[in-house]
Amino acid sequence: MKYIPFGKTGLRVSQVAFGTGNFGTGWGHGANAEDSATLFNAYVEAGGNFIDTADVYQFGQSEEIVGDLIKGRRENFVLATKFTNGAEPNADRLVTGNSRKSLVASVEASLRRLKTDRIDLYWVHHPDGITPMEEIVRGFDDLARAGKILYAGLSNFPAWRLSRAVTLAELTRAVPIAAAQFQHSLVYREPEVDLFPAAQALGLGIITWSPLGGGVLTGKYRKGEKGRAEGFGGRVFQPENSDQRSRIIDTVLEIATELGTSPDKVAIAWAGTHGAVPLIGPRTLSQFESNIAALSLELSVDHITRLDEVSRIATASPTRAPVAWGHTMPAGKVVA
């Protein structure tokens, strides 16, 4: 696996990040501790060093499992986690949301579960509709000065709020907002209109989640499988509910057949051509082995053009030249 500079930070991260939402069984589905360890170690053996979790994942079990797995090798990883939702099924309103109170309570609880003294990249999981950006930026700065976090990031925030947060941090000389995380796939390209241009102009590291559209791009739901169509309450799933999405899936399957590979590799490889670090979250070892093999898949200019054209969104979408894995748009440095 290659390593790339992450935004304007000095971090060098693996081309693919590992999301641990399936570590644990607190949600009634997922991987037990033993299976999670198998997945984690397979990712490490493949050269991965970017771990992404959250307090809410499996109601805290994910962080606990990750904490056990990084013991004795903590410095080998960029460890990222998130707050907003809390780690309990019915967490109190004072320890959820994005207030400074919730921020402080959440980071201390995550540090205990992760069994570490600081978090490398701390995300706000999503806006709460209440907390102003000034409070979030100041809270991040307090945590950085206290040595609790090294970098701050915003997940699932609109481009205008992302830009405002970066500007506030610059003007107040607070710890910079270093990264943005948002959904992006062949069936969800809307971020290319605003979030990608904003994040790239601001010099942020970018992580994109759900490159498989919740699994729909694998074509498995056409075979009657359920997966995320029902798991997570149907959230983080993009259904095949339009003619265009059917054409997109058809094209992914066609290209996979042409290349003698599986559709998940095609979808993940395409996501890796946008200057972002795609986030994978497999539940089984076979899923991981298939997902990670996307790194060795070379999509031709024709393949990328076909995928771009069939998935083009109705609103104005910027044109782009296809780029290789690990590159930023339009060009970038890959660190071996």
Specify the pLDDT at position 30: 95
Residue type for position 313: I
Q: Which CATH superfamily is domain 3-310 in?
A: NADP-dependent oxidoreductase domain (3.20.20.100)
- What are the tens digits of pLDDT across the range 36-59? 999 999 999 999 999 999 999 999
Residue 213 and residue 187 in contact, taking contact as beta carbons nearer than 8 Å: yes
Give 3-state DSSP helix, strand, coil % of the chain, rounded to 5: 45, 15, 40
- Average pLDDT of the residues of the chain: 92
Give the type of residue at 302.
Answer: D
What confidence tens digit (pLDDT) does each residue in 181-195 have? 999 999 999 999 999
pLDDT at 221: 82
Q: Give 232-280 pLDDT, tens digit per residue.
A: 555 566 887 889 999 999 999 999 999 999 999 999 999 999 999 999 9
Q: Provide DSSP, 125-176.
A: -S--SSS-HHHHHHHHHHHHHTTSEEEEEEES--HHHHHHHHHHHHHTTPSP
pLDDT of residue 323 exceeding 90: no
At 225, is the pLDDT very low, low, confident or very high (cuts 50, 70, 90)? low
Q: Peptide bond preceding 330: is omega within 30 degrees of 0, i.e. cis?
A: yes
For residue 241, the model assigns a pLDDT of 80
Has residue 229 got a pLDDT over 80?
Answer: no
User: E-strand spans in 149-302?
Assistant: 149-155, 177-183, 205-209, 277-280
Write out the two tokens for 105.
């309570």
DSSP three-state, residue 206: strand
Percent of the chain with pLDDT over 70: 89
For range 118-123, the mean pLDDT = 98
For the stretch 63-116, pLDDT in tens is: 999 999 999 999 999 999 999 999 999 899 999 999 999 999 999 999 999 999
Least confident span in 24-38, 289-303, 314-328: 314-328
Give the catalytic positions in this structure: 57
